[in-house]
Amino acid sequence: MTDAITIGAAKLQLDEVTGEMVSKGELKKRIQKRAKKARAKKVAAAKAKEDGPAKAPAVPKLPPKAKTSLLSP
């Protein structure tokens, strides 16, 4: 009985990021997907650094309103 459990467990590997036991094929897919995301993030960061910091559009300041009192004479 324990032989069947160990045979099935031998086909699974630990995904260290999520802590799940997954098949070798699934683990390979997950690692490739994570690597692709990391590359995309690195490229985006490099492009943002190259373009310089994004500047907020200038908002014109309005003149301050005159204070009015409810107790006007």
For β-strands 12-15 and 20-23, DSSP reports them as: antiparallel
Give the 3-state secondary structure of residue 2: helix
Read off the pLDDT band of 23 (50, 70, 90): very high
DSSP 8-state assignment for residue 68:
-
- Where is pLDDT greater, at 30 or 11? 30
Token output for 29: 């897919």
Higher confidence at residue 58 or residue 35?
35
Is pTM beyond 0.85? Reply is no
